[in-house]
Structure 1
Amino acid sequence: MAGAVRLSVARPGDRGVIVDVRAESHPGDHGVGVDELQRRLLEFGFVEGARVEVLHEGAIWRDPIAVRLDEMRIGLRRRDAEDVWVLLDPK
């Protein structure tokens, strides 16, 4: 996973490939258990090898973010995006 970053730190216009989805417990939590969050992310299509692009981020604390995941557009809380690891394309 060398060079991979959390999707939560990517900025609008950043694109890359998902290399890992690893739900973890964070301060402030997600409101759901770790297993449930992992299941939700996988059901949305956040899987290894999927292409992702950050389209937009909210005005307040840059939250939530809008991403293109393959051909879908999805809104995602930044704290949930912390569990998705992406290898960004070179700029």
Structure 2
Amino acid sequence: MKKEFFLTIYLQPGSKKSEICGMHDGHIKIKLNAPPVDGKANAALILFLSNLIGIPKSSIELISGQKSRIKRIKITGISQEMIDKKIKKSEQ
């Protein structure tokens, strides 16, 4: 059985740099330097998470929030504990 994990993210596109900025209303807050135009921020979010966690982009799926700042992401093939460790490490 494949491991599946869901994240809820508050996305702030159009920032100077891409980074995790802690929490916002119970969601992981991520700033991205991609603009919120034609799905560019969504694609950049998947690439950012792929690089951060160290898994292929194909293991990350945007479930909801295509046109919203609140995004629901499904990640497969990695445990919640590993994701939490990598996110905490990036915040330091």
TM-score after normalising by structure 2: 0.29
Answer 1 or 2: which has greater helix percent.
2
**TM-score, with length taken from structure 1:** 0.29
Return the structure number with greater relative CO, CA threshold 8 A, min gap 6. Answer: 1
